[in-house]
């Protein structure tokens, strides 16, 4: 499975598991676990359900990502630079019925239920300014029906 490591908002390393990375003690890192076909991220060994895990490196650290095989529908949110490539680390909030069901950093993937409507919101961060969604919408919040899996791309300048 693909893993992406970021530090200070920039991709530091990426690769496929098992994956080894040499970091710097005291540095803050975000590791994002990706999905592939029916292999859907479930949780980290710590129990955290967010596919993005942030920590400050204090010693040799081994992270374990657990996956399940499922055919359930999912919303996956990714971030990209306008006219450029995807990047990770932008904050996402997913709600249904006014209740927050997931928060985390892009890429974020969340299981959804058929018949529900979901709001997906993104924010600006430092020099990354939200510009639009892939469908052209310029609102920071987009609505998604839970009838099928969706890949949402938020573009930033």
Q: What is the pLDDT along the chain (157 residues), one digit of tens a residue?
A: 888 999 988 999 998 988 899 999 999 999 998 877 667 788 888 878 888 899 999 999 999 988 875 556 789 999 999 998 999 999 999 998 888 889 999 999 888 877 788 999 999 999 999 999 999 999 999 999 877 788 999 999 9
Q: How crowded is residue 58: how many other Cβ atoms within 10 Å of its Cβ?
A: 9
pLDDT computed for residue 101 by the predictor: 86
How many Å apart are CA 77 and CA 62, to the nearest integer? 26
Token readout for 37 is: 């076909």
CATH architecture type of domain 74-156? Sandwich (2.60)
For the chain, domain boundaries:
2-69, 74-156
How far from the centroid of its chain's Cα atoms is residue 19's Cα?
19
Reduced 3-state DSSP string for 43-87: EECCCCCCCEEEEECCCCCCCCEEEEECCCCEEEEEEEECCCCEE
Token readout for 72 is: 């359930």
pLDDT computed for residue 82 by the predictor: 96
How many Å apart are CA 139 and CA 156, to the nearest integer? 12
């Amino acid at each position: 499975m693909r893993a992406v490591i970021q530090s200070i908002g920039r991709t530091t390393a990426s690769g496929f598991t098992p994956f080894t990375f040499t970091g710097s003690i005291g540095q803050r890192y975000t590791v994002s676990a990706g999905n592939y076909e029916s292999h859907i991220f479930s949780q980290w060994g710590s129990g955290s359900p967010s596919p993005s895990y942030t920590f400050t490196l204090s010693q040799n650290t081994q992270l374990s990502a657990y996956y399940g095989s499922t055919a359930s529908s999912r919303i996956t949110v990714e971030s990209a630079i306008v006219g450029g490539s995807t990047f990770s680390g932008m904050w996402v909030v997913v709600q249904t019925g006014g209740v927050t069901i997931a928060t985390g950093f892009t890429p974020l993937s969340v299981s959804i239920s058929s018949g529900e409507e979901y709001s997906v919101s993104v924010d600006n961060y430092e020099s990354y300014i939200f510009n639009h969604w892939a469908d052209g919408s310029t609102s920071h919040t987009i609505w998604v029906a839970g009838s099928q899996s969706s890949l949402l791309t938020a573009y930033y300048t």
